[in-house]
Amino acid sequence: MLRNTPTLLSGKLILGVDPGTNVMGFSIIEVSGSKVKVLEYDALSFKKAPNHAVKLKRIFDNTLLLIEKYLPDEMAIEAQFYSTNVQSMLKLGRAQGVAIAAALSRDIPYVEYAPKRIKQSITGNGNASKEQVALMLGQILKLPTDAPKLLDATDALAVALCHHYQKGINTQAGTKSWKSFITDNPGRVK
């Protein structure tokens, strides 16, 4: 269980969630203008829970604790991806649903992002590996070398940063040019 300690912050806060019934990655970023500060990111394990219902309850409870601790303005969550294993998809959908329900219970708006969109926004490649995403996040956000190495944690951080990048951008295909992307995102181009 997360500790529930009050925190005083300024700027817009985004809760990023990489849902899962065994491991849930989470992140909190603070956005002030174009500056992004990582406040926390980690992963919670539910592998020792006795059954699926208990895992879902723990996901809900821990999401609420994060909300109560940081009072985020928005939540970004990774959407389900297509899988041939229907049982896995159902379990992942339930995990996603209880995290969303926790946010809605506290009037926190949420946005879902497809895994390919998240990878594209961080690395420029929608087919990037989790390791490539983590490496790019380290460079973009100047993460310390002793930062969490769990890929679920960096996935959640990628979801939050993707949401920051997408906010206010018309995401309809073909409506934005590379020139307007560069103008809108000067810190992402080197």
Binding residues for Mg(2+): 18, 78, 152
How far apart CA 169 and CA 142 sit, in angstroms, is 24
Which residues are known binding-site members? 18, 78, 152
The question of whether 78 is a catalytic residue gets the answer yes
The question of whether 146 is a catalytic residue gets the answer no
Question: Which of 18, 30, 74, 155 is labelled catalytic?
Answer: 18
Question: Which of 40, 42, 74, 78 is labelled catalytic?
Answer: 78
The question of whether 152 is a catalytic residue gets the answer yes
Would you name the residues annotated as active-site residues?
Answer: 18, 78, 152
